[in-house]
Every structure is written in C-alpha cells, then in structure tokens.
A and B are shown apart, each in its own frame.
Chain A
Amino acid sequence: MHAFANPTRFLKLAAAIQPWAAGLCILCFAIGIPMALVFSPPDYQQGDTVRIMYVHVPSAWMGLFAYGVMAAGSASYLIWRHAVANMIAKASAPIGAMFTALCLLTGMLWGEPMWGTPWVWDARLTSMLVLFFLYLGYMALGDAFDSPEQGDKAAAILALVGSVNLPIIKFSVDWWNSLHQPSIFSMAGVSVDTAMLAPLFLMVGAFQFYYVVVVFMRVRAQVLAAKVRAARLKRAT
C-alpha cells in the first residue's frame, strides 16, 4: 500500500494494468452491448424499455463505487498523507459525477413511460441527487483555495462527511416504501433471469474497467501537471 505512495512507482504499475483494463473494457462492451440491446429478451411487463436498465444499473453502481473510492482515498490521504490516494480520489470525482448524472438521466427516460412521470421525490432518487451535489461540492471546494494542498485537505474531509449518504442510498429502497424497484440482489437470491443477468454483468464489468482506465489516465495527468508546475516554479526562481 505505502510502496505506491511514490507516484513514479504507482505510474509504472498503472501503465502495466492499463492496457489489460482497456482491453477487457472493450471486450465487455463488444459482447455486452449487442447482448443487452438486441439479443436479451424483452421484459414481460416493460417490453423493450427494460434495456435502459443495462445502462442505468451499471451507472448507478459506478456512481456509488466511485464515491466509495473517493472516500477511501480521502481517508488514507488525511491519515497517512498518502499522495497517490488523494490523486485517485480527485480523479474519481468527475467520473463519479458523470456516472451519477447518467444514472439520473437514464432513470428519468425510463420513468417517463413506465411510472408515467420522469421524477418522483422518493428516497432513492433524492439520495442519488444528493450524491451528485456532493460530487459537485467536492470538486468546487478542492478548486477554491489558493494553495492546492489546503483545497485537497478540505475536499477530503467533505468527502468523508458526505460518505454517510452511501448506505442511505444503498438501502433506501429496503427502508422506505418507494416507487423504485427493490434491489435485484438480496439475501434471498437473485430475482432476475440469467438471460438478463449475463448482459447486465457484462455491462457492469465494462463500466468498471472503463473507470479503471480513466482513473489511471487522470492520475497520470495530475502527476505530469504537478511536475510541470514544479519545473515552472524552479525556472521562475
């Protein structure tokens, strides 16, 4: 863990993982998208609208996952001053925000024909919207200071404070009576047929690998930006 606090060593590892992650991402998309959009059976109630789920569920999952990574990275930055963990947290924020926005948008597109309304103010939708604003707050706070380090620390604390929202989102559909479907994975087993589950898993995998690829790209960009900044400061003095 601490061995990778050295950005150079981390980048070496990242460079080794990245092509594999990119390949798996493309592979999952290549099989997953045709399966999800063409070959999987339409739902007996929802018809072809169910295919929105293959984008909606993975993006919801990634919205939560990216926040989890962000909170964990922020915690290790605050506790151990782990510089790379902070870079990963900072890199996760815009990706997570986009996934959350995608989840909300696809949910609205699906809700319009299915629920008869694109939006209801229930626990799951509201907490997802709060998650989106938490991402925005994190990014805005990180950029608002003259010293980047102070911004990083303030944003890291905010990420930890906001992480109380994660379990609320996860369990919202179990705790409250909601218009939203209950989770398809529960203690009692999986409530979806294999013909739909396989493309869903492929899409989740594709999104996950996409996230890995983009996070590593963004971390590399941050390291390079820091180097450029240091070099410029050196030349100026």
Chain B
Amino acid sequence: MKSFLTLISRDLRLSIRHRADTIMVAGFFAITVILFPFGIGPEPGVLERVGAGILWVTALLASLLSLDHLFSDDEQDGALDLLLTAPVAPTTVVAAKITAHWLTTGLPLTLLAPILGVTLQMPSESTAPMILALLLGTPTLSLIGAVGAALTLGARRRGVLLPLVILPLYIPVLIFGVGAIDTSGMGFNANGLFAVLGGFLLMAAALCPWATAVALRLASE
C-alpha cells in the first residue's frame, strides 16, 4: 500500500512539473465541446437533447489523448524497466499509474463537465447525475485505456492504432453513461444504469491492471 501511494505521488509530481499535459487535455475537452454549438446550431431544444452524448464522447477522446504517454515516457527513459523489476507486484505499479492517470485526466474532466453542460443548456437536474456518471465511468476509461496503452507500447503508427484498439471497448461505458444522464435528466429513476456503470468499473478494476501488467511484461521482454 505504501509503495502504491509513493508511486501515485511520483506520477502526480511528474504531471505537476509537466502541467501543460494536464491542461492540454482539459483544454482539448473544453474547446471540442464548444465546437458543437457552432456545428449543430444554438437552438436550445437540440443542444439540450444531445448534450450528454457530446460530453461523453468528448471526454472519451480527451482521455484517449493522454493515454499516449501513460507508459511511453517511462519506457523511453528506462524507468518502466526499473519499476517492473522493483520488489513490488507489477499490478501495484500499474494500478498506481492508472490511478494517477485518472486523477490528472478523469477527475479534471468530471469537474469541468458541469460548467460545459451549462453552456450546452443542459437542465440543472442532470448536473448531479452527470457528475456521478462521470465519476463512475471515467476510471473505467482509464483502466481499459491502460490495457491498450500497454499493448501498443513500441508499436508502429501508435497514434492510429490506440483508438482502433480501445474505442470498441469504450462503447459500453458510453452507452450506459449517456443513458444514465439522459434518463435522470428526464426525471426517471436511473439507479439501474448507474449500477451497470459501477459494475463495469468493478470488473475493469479487477481485470485491467492484471492484463496491463502482463502486456507490459511481454513488451519489455
């Protein structure tokens, strides 16, 4: 547990020193969401209806952007090999890196989403469900994304490959995430959809660190 926290604080310190990366992801998220009112037109009825979908899809793409250097920075300077040979379980290393990734991308996106939701004229009743859905969903995105990032480590044309590998696996989270926001925004009970999102998170938390660790070990062989 102590090494887990140490690893998280190391990654957080690194990302504070490279603030631009975190800010860039949040900036990408904000500016892409803002493009939609121009593209679709500012009529209130339309934006209100598609707002949840826009926020989720954009959050998905934004978290994809930052996955590119989740492991590759450490691989290039050799830190990854040291971390994997350290007397810590590789799953712990991976879990710490995923947690740090979520703290620097998923969490800022979740905090930013309600403000952007207001600009998309989403009803105020859907703010709380939106935050809850993103809190449950974005860690799942980081977990699944880590598997993809580890698998594509050292591959050619990685930028194109990563979305092709990961986005199909993101689709269930997207479906239920948007469903949860929309259903509760219309005043219905969405507990079931939130439960499914939570289930995805638990399943991903159980399987993904392990799969990522295996993939990293194979990549560094």
The residues of B that contact A168 with a CB separation of less than 8 Å are 172
Of residues 209 to 228 in A, which have CB atoms within 8 Å of B's CB atoms? none
Complex: chain B residue closest to A160, CB-CB? B211
B17 within 8 A of A: no
Contact A154 B218 (CB under 8 A): yes
Contacts A144-B157, A162-B169 given; does A136 touch B151 at CB 8 Å: no
- Which of A7-15, A41-49, A145-153, A186-194 is the interface stretch? A145-153
Q: How far is the CA of A151 from the CA of B156 in the complex (A)?
A: 10
Q: How far is the CA of A136 from the CA of B160 in the complex (A)?
A: 12
Contact B161 A144 (CB under 8 A): yes
Contacts A126-B171, A126-B175, A161-B169 given; does A144 touch B215 at CB 8 Å: no
Contacts A130-B171, A154-B151, A154-B152 given; does A140 touch B165 at CB 8 Å: yes
Of residues 107 to 135 in A, which have CB atoms within 8 Å of B's CB atoms? 126, 130, 133-134
Contacts A137-B168, A141-B155 given; does A157 touch B214 at CB 8 Å: yes
Task: Choose among A133, A134, A157 the residue that contacts B151 (Cβ–Cβ < 8 A).
Answer: A157
Count of B interface residues, CB-CB < 8 Å: 25
Q: How far is the CA of A137 from the CA of B203 in the complex (A)?
A: 22
Complex: chain B residue closest to A121, CB-CB? B175
Binding site secondary structure of chain A: helix
Of residues 176 to 214 in B, which have CB atoms within 8 Å of A's CB atoms? 203, 207, 211, 214
Contact B155 A145 (CB under 8 A): yes
The residues of A that contact B214 with a CB separation of less than 8 Å are 78, 157
Of residues 153 to 173 in A, which have CB atoms within 8 Å of B's CB atoms? 153-154, 157-158, 160-162, 164, 168
Task: Choose among B156, B165, B211, B218 the residue that contacts A153 (Cβ–Cβ < 8 A).
Answer: B218
Contact A162 B168 (CB under 8 A): yes
B219 within 8 A of A: yes
Contact A150 B218 (CB under 8 A): yes
Q: How far is the CA of A157 from the CA of B151 in the complex (A)?
A: 8
Report the minimum CB–CB distance from A100 to chain B (whole Å). 12
Contacts A150-B154, A153-B218 given; does A140 touch B168 at CB 8 Å: no
Report the minimum CB–CB distance from B49 to chain A (whole Å). 15
Complex: chain B residue closest to A168, CB-CB? B172
The residues of A that contact B157 with a CB separation of less than 8 Å are 144
Q: List 5 A-B contacts (CB under 8 A).
A: A133-B168, A134-B168, A141-B155, A161-B169, A161-B211
Taking A137-B164, A161-B147 as known contacts, 19 extra A-B pairs with beta carbons closer than 8 A to each other, sorted by chain A number, are A134-B168, A136-B164, A141-B161, A144-B157, A144-B161, A145-B154, A150-B218, A150-B221, A154-B155, A154-B215, A154-B219, A157-B151, A157-B215, A158-B165, A160-B211, A161-B169, A161-B211, A162-B169, A168-B172
The 3 A-B residue pairs whose C-beta atoms are closest, nearest first, are: A144-B155, A133-B168, A137-B165
